[in-house]
Structure 1
Amino acid sequence: MTRRFIFALGVVLCVVAIWLFVFYLPSPPLKVTSTTLQSAVGCDFSEDQCVRNIGDTVYRLTGTPSVFKVETPMTFTLQSTALSALSSVEGHLEGRDMYMGKIPLFFTYQNGKFVAQTMVGACTESSMIWTMHLVVEQPNGSVEQLTFDLQSFN
């Protein structure tokens, strides 16, 4: 009787250990490099483009028109010194200090640049800070995350 009990207990423990191994073992982390904005306001497209340096790669974000106005179409252009090596750019905008939902950005490759067009809704404040989150994927599978803060005006 005790042998059966010990055997059954051993089987149960093995099943639990396998289950924990399969479902709770952390997967290997992606090679992700992050950069965040240093200033509070962020990108000012009327003065210049936003630039991020990650290793040897330089990313430049520009916006047209130069003033980010609510309920007005805005075109974002991402250029990179490693642009020929990029396989995709995905992203979204979200309010930094106020939840306004996530606004997806659909980038397409056009004339050597990744371009996305979007529009943000009006806020009760006269201006609002939006955070743009971008995920840039290289053909080898490595991923870089870029973050830009943008100010919109009513």
Structure 2
Amino acid sequence: MSPVPSLVFTLMFLLVLGALSGCQPAEKKQAVSLEPRCLAQQSECVVRTPAGEFHVLFNVDKVITETPFEITVEYRGSGEIKNISGYLEGRDMFMGKIPLFLTGEKNNQYLAEVMLGSCAEPTMIWRLWLTAEFTGQVQPGAGNAAGKQQLFIDFPSSRE
């Protein structure tokens, strides 16, 4: 048997393997800051409620879809939060509800790691809903019932 067919087969195999190993998706690089900050187009950075102030901050300058980022919620008030929960949903387009898994990092500071899916539109506005439950009663007001305070902010995301 001639070594030519096996040599051709080996070369073709190596050529295909080399071509496939070069097929990787382009990396999305996003500048991640160490200090949480307000987004430039965020509806509100500080939400003032009867229960106190809620600062909603991001660890990026711009939210890019399919790229992880962090949301920090800082509570400044006299109440004591026993539980905080939240979710994200599209403001103008239904994309489902994305739950936020907020963990307590420090005193009255909560952190969630998030990744948003891409939309048909190049930019999209998201609504972040938060509900804080307090150990005691808080002052009555809008969005506040039986020791709970609910609030929301809007922020944009883009594909790049």
TM-score (norm 2): 0.64
User: Contact 2:58–2:70 at 8 Å: present in 1 too?
Assistant: yes
- Extract unaligned runs of 5+ from structure 2: 1-36, 137-145
Rounded to whole Å, the distance in 2 between the matches of 1:84 and 1:119 is 30
- Extract unaligned runs of 5+ from structure 1: 1-42
1:108 maps onto 2:103 in alignment? yes
| C-alpha RMSD over aligned residues | 2.2
Rounded to whole Å, the distance in 2 between the matches of 1:121 and 1:90 is 21
Aligned to 1:128: 124
Rounded to whole Å, the distance in 2 between the matches of 1:47 and 1:148 is 11
Aligned to 2:45: 50
Aligned to 1:39: none
The match for 1:91 among 86, 89, 92 is 86
1:88 deviation in Å?
A: 1.2
1:82 deviation in Å?
A: 2.6
User: Contact 2:52–2:78 at 8 Å: present in 1 too?
Assistant: no
The match for 1:147 among 138, 152, 155 is 152
Paired residue total: 112
1:81 maps onto 2:76 in alignment? yes
Cα pair distance change 1:69/1:139, threshold 3 Å:
same
Pick the structure with more helix per residue.
1
Aligned to 1:66: 61
1:39-86 deviations in whole A, cap 9, x for unaligned? xxxx95148871111126111000111211100111000101138711
Identity of aligned residues (%): 31
TM-score (norm 1): 0.66
Structure number with the bigger relative contact order (C-alpha 8 A, sep ≥ 6) is: 1
